[in-house]
Each structure stands twice: as structure tokens, then as C-alpha cells.
Amino acid sequence: MTPRSEPREKVDTWQQITDRIREAIPPPYYSSIIAPLRVISVENDSITVGVPNSFTKDVILSRFIHEISSAASQVCGRNVDIILTVSSSPEIVGTIASHDVEDEVIPENGDKKAGSFKPTPQKKYSFENFVVGDSNKFAYSAALMVAEFPGHNYNPLFIYGGTGLGKTHLLKAIQDYSQTMNPNIKVKYVQTSRFIDEFIATLTLKRDKATFDNEYINNHIVMFDDIQALGGTEACQNKFFDIFNLLYGSNSHIVLSSDRPPVEIAKLSARIRSRFVGGLMLDIKPPDLETRLAILRMKARAETVEVPDEALVFIASKAKDNIRTLEGLLNKVVAYARLYGTRIHLQMVQEVLKDQVAESDRSKKASVDLIQNLVSNYYCISREDLISKSRSRPLVKGRQVAMYLCRELTDETLIRIGSQFGGRDHSTVLHSCKKVESLLKQKRDVFHEVSDITNIINKSV
């Protein structure tokens, strides 16, 4: 929307300049950064432009000032300086999340610009299906900023918080979103334990070190999930430090997640720790009741089931510190309702979850060891058989259930679980989990077996 008081000529000049800029930068950046700018004055040797906030100003100065100056010089036929001034004038509308609707540019792929999300429930990890509450709002907005403007502020971004609170979700959302915005962007996501395993394999199998390094350094965004795993192994820390510095030096954005703050990561070298705290550190806290309910409502909608509020409140009271557990409880209720063709209501939920021990009342977590033992006992098979390579039917079933429960009830990654099941690959573990998830929805006996074993495990920890 153009202020009426602006002389035509000034506006025309700016219009011509922005037309040129539009050709020079990717559409999503044009719509979120350039479109909201307003020309304030055009002088002989300078043009003053109003920007909506200091964040946009920083982004322009570090990323787009050259494109704007050269477009302005071409249009004016002389060298002109661009002066950016943060203006809260109503004409300079909005922020990254909201700006003048008339300025919206629909990128070529037909999606709307940054900040206006359409729900796409088929994606597991995206910003759209991340429920924002007081406990996670800062981590969420910082992650979104990185996805939109990698290499800019907040480098590295360090997100920490307990298990199941959405760290991996945010990292994967950064990947999904930045690649949707800019299909040419290179993003690397890695579980730190995998980084370590692959680096050790490079050393022991004498693989090409440069190939390993290149996987990481030639990217715009590199994310290390569960970086707390780095503590301890010195050779890996040195390798990480070198890669970190190369990335940082080339303005790649580094995103780290951890289940604890850097000071609490044991055996982490001081120089790495100081790099971690040198950027932006944000924590995710356990969600309050309102956020847990919002998450449950979203998941229930995605499952297209009706769950009355009182039943949601009951489920939310059973898992306060871990959203993965919260989801698991809802899944269990939904599976039961489908298997028995019943409606979901408070009494039914209380019955299905009656043996569920509230997380906060639990003294410690189950271990892979414990789960393997209890599952073996339950199915009357030996532990050796459970983790063996045998493909006999009862063994395969017991093994898959055991892997599923390890995934559900411990903090172990797929990789670690696989290694404790006779050195299986993480994709095998994932396949087993998916298999059991689908059996739970189809077979009452599997549902009851898994419920029984879960209760036995919960009582044993």
C-alpha cells in the first residue's frame, strides 16, 4: 500500500529498482525481505529506504545490499548509496511473520511466502505441525529464522532440552522448510552418534578422509542432533572442531541439539564448549497443560478421531515431561477404539491407560537390556535367540516387539538400539517399529501383548 503523500516520481523510481532486484534474488527472499521495504526519499546521491525491523535491516546489509545498490545505480544512471532506516510507520508493515498482503508474491511453485503456513499433515516434522507454547516459542522462532536466513544471525544455534520435547522435530523442520524455500540449498542433518560411528569407520577402515569432510563442509546448513554424544571421544571432538570452524568460517549455519546445556556435557573440551555458547543458546522446557492439550488436539485431528476434552485432559495428565510419550498414549487409545469399534470417552481412556504410570512418578528409564530380558521371558524365548539372526516366525515377532518397545520406552537412538540387537542397521529397527505400529492397529492380540509387556516394564523400573 503506497502512502498518498509520496510523489509519483519517487515511487516509480523505487518500483523500477525493486523490479530489477526481483530478477536478482530468489522469490521467497524477495517476498519476505524486499517487498515490505518502502522508499522514504530519493536524493541525488542516496536513496533512503524504510525497513520494518532491525532484523530485516541486518539481513539486507549482510545478504542483499549489493543487489539493491546495483539495481538503484542502474535505474538512476549514477552511483547511489542506499540508506536503511528502521521505521515503524504504518506504511512499513509487519515483520517476517506478517506484512502487507498486497505485497505477497506467490513463488513459482505456487506456495505462499514465508510466514503463511498451510497445514500439510502428511509431513511428520514441519513447522506447521509444531505446536508453539511458552515452553518452546523461542527455540521455534530461532529455528524458523535459521531456515529462512541461514548463515545470518544466531550461529551456532544451540537448542537443548529433555528427551521427547521436540528438538529433532525442529531440526528436521529447518531442513524441510529451507529446502522448500530454496530447492538449491544444501542442508545436512546428522545424528551425532552416526557422525562419530562414520568418523571412526573412516579411521579404522582407512577410508578417504576428504570424502568424509566434504559431506559436512559443503553445505549451507549443518545440523548435529544430540550433540551431547560428542563428549568423551577425543579424536571425534578434534574432527568436529575442525569441521565446525570451517563451516563457521564459510558462513554456513550450524545448528546443534542436546539433551542438556553445554556445561553439563561431560568430557567436552573447553574450546568446543566455548564455541557452543558463542552463538544463541535456547532451551525447550516441558510443555504446560495448555500446550499438551493443543498437541493432543492436533494429533487427534490428524487421526480424524473425536476425543472429548475431559478425555484429553486425562491423557495429558499422564505424560507431562515427554511429548513422544504423550503421543504414544493417544495412539494407544486410538488403536484400542479402532480395534474394538468404540467411541473414545473418559471412562474408556481411564480403562485403557489404567496401568500407565505417570512419567513424573517413574524413578528411572527402562534400558534396552531390561526390555530384552522381559520380552524374552514374556514370549518364552532366550535372549540369545531374541538378538540372533534367526528368521523363525516367533523370534521375528518377539524381536520386532522388543525393538519397538526400546524405541518407545528408552532414550536410545535407532542406531544404538540396532547395535544392541546383534549389530543390526538402524533401518531394520525403524522397519520393525513401523511393522509393530501397524500390527497394533490391526490385531487385538498384538495390542494386548504389547500393553501387557509395557505394563511389566513400567513396573520394573
**What residues line the site for Mg ion (CB under 5 A)?**
167-168
Total residues interacting with ligand ADP, rule: CB under 6 A: 15
Shortest separation between residue 252's beta carbon and ligand ADP, angstroms: 22
Helices (H), 357-425: 368-379, 383-387, 393-409, 414-420
Among 123, 260, 285, 324, binds ligand ADP (CB under 6 A): 324
With CB under 5 to 8 Å by kind, the binding choice for 324 among Mg ion, ligand ADP, none is ligand ADP
Shortest separation between residue 281's beta carbon and ligand ADP, angstroms: 15
Asked if 331 interacts with ligand ADP (CB under 6 A), we say: no
Shortest separation between residue 418's beta carbon and ligand ADP, angstroms: 17
Shortest separation between residue 321's beta carbon and ligand ADP, angstroms: 11
Shortest separation between residue 113's beta carbon and ligand ADP, angstroms: 23
Taking the least distance from each CB to Mg ion, the nearer of 160 and 199 is: 160
Instruction: Classify burial at 391, counting beta carbons within 10 Å of its beta carbon; exposed 0-12, middle 13-18, buried 19 or more.
Output: exposed
Query: Measuring CA to CA, which residue among 429, 328, 417 is closest to residue 368?
Result: 417
Asked if 165 interacts with ligand ADP (CB under 6 A), we say: yes
Taking the least distance from each CB to Mg ion, the nearer of 103 and 259 is: 259
With CB under 5 to 8 Å by kind, the binding choice for 188 among Mg ion, ligand ADP, none is none
DSSP state at residue 263? G
Question: Contact, 252 vs 216, CB < 8 A?
Answer: no
Residues 138-156 as b or e (16 or more Cβ within 10 Å = b): ebbebbbbbbbbbbbbbbb
Among 60, 295, 311, 315, binds ligand ADP (CB under 6 A): 295
**How many Å apart are CA 156 and CA 281, to the nearest integer?**
8
Mask 124-143, x = binds ligand ADP (CB under 6 A)?
A: -----xxx----x-------
Shortest separation between residue 240's beta carbon and ligand ADP, angstroms: 19
- Which residue type sits at 82? I
CA distances 408 to 241, 322, 415, Å, are 33, 11, 14
Among 28, 50, 156, 164, binds ligand ADP (CB under 6 A): 164
Taking the least distance from each CB to Mg ion, the nearer of 42 and 165 is: 165
Mask 248-287, x = binds ligand ADP (CB under 6 A)?
A: ----------------------------------------
The C-alpha cell of 90 is what? Answer: 504504518
Torsion of CA 54, 153, 29, 1, to 10 degrees: -10
- Helix (H), strand (E), coil (C) string for 167-228: HHHHHHHHHHHHHHHCCCCCEEEEEHHHHHHHHHHHHHCCCCHHHHHHHHHCCCEEEEECHH
Asked if 163 interacts with ligand ADP (CB under 6 A), we say: yes
Instruction: Classify burial at 22, counting beta carbons within 10 Å of its beta carbon; exposed 0-12, middle 13-18, buried 19 or more.
Output: middle
Mask 70-109, x = binds ligand ADP (CB under 6 A)?
A: ----------------------------------------
Taking the least distance from each CB to Mg ion, the nearer of 225 and 449 is: 225
Shortest separation between residue 221's beta carbon and Mg ion, angstroms: 17
Shortest separation between residue 28's beta carbon and ligand ADP, angstroms: 24
Shortest separation between residue 224's beta carbon and Mg ion, angstroms: 11
Among 168, 175, 410, 413, binds ligand ADP (CB under 6 A): 168
With CB under 5 to 8 Å by kind, the binding choice for 18 among ligand ADP, Mg ion, none is none
Asked if 166 interacts with ligand ADP (CB under 6 A), we say: yes
Contacts of 291 (CB under 8 A, 6+ apart): 131, 133, 134, 135, 136
Taking the least distance from each CB to Mg ion, the nearer of 60 and 433 is: 433
Helices (H), 7-89: 8-24, 27-29, 54-59, 65-76
Bridge-based pairing of strands 157-161 and 38-42 is unpaired
Query: What sign for the dihedral angle of Cα 430, 436, 441, 447?
Result: negative
Asked if 38 interacts with ligand ADP (CB under 6 A), we say: no
The C-alpha cell of 153 is what? Answer: 544471525
Q: By Cβ distance, which residue is nearest to ligand ADP?
A: 166
Taking the least distance from each CB to Mg ion, the nearer of 94 and 162 is: 162
Asked if 293 interacts with ligand ADP (CB under 6 A), we say: no
Shortest separation between residue 461's beta carbon and Mg ion, angstroms: 21
The C-alpha cell of 409 is what? Answer: 520406552
The residue ranges that bind ligand ADP (CB under 6 A) are 129-131, 136, 163-169, 295, 323-324, 327
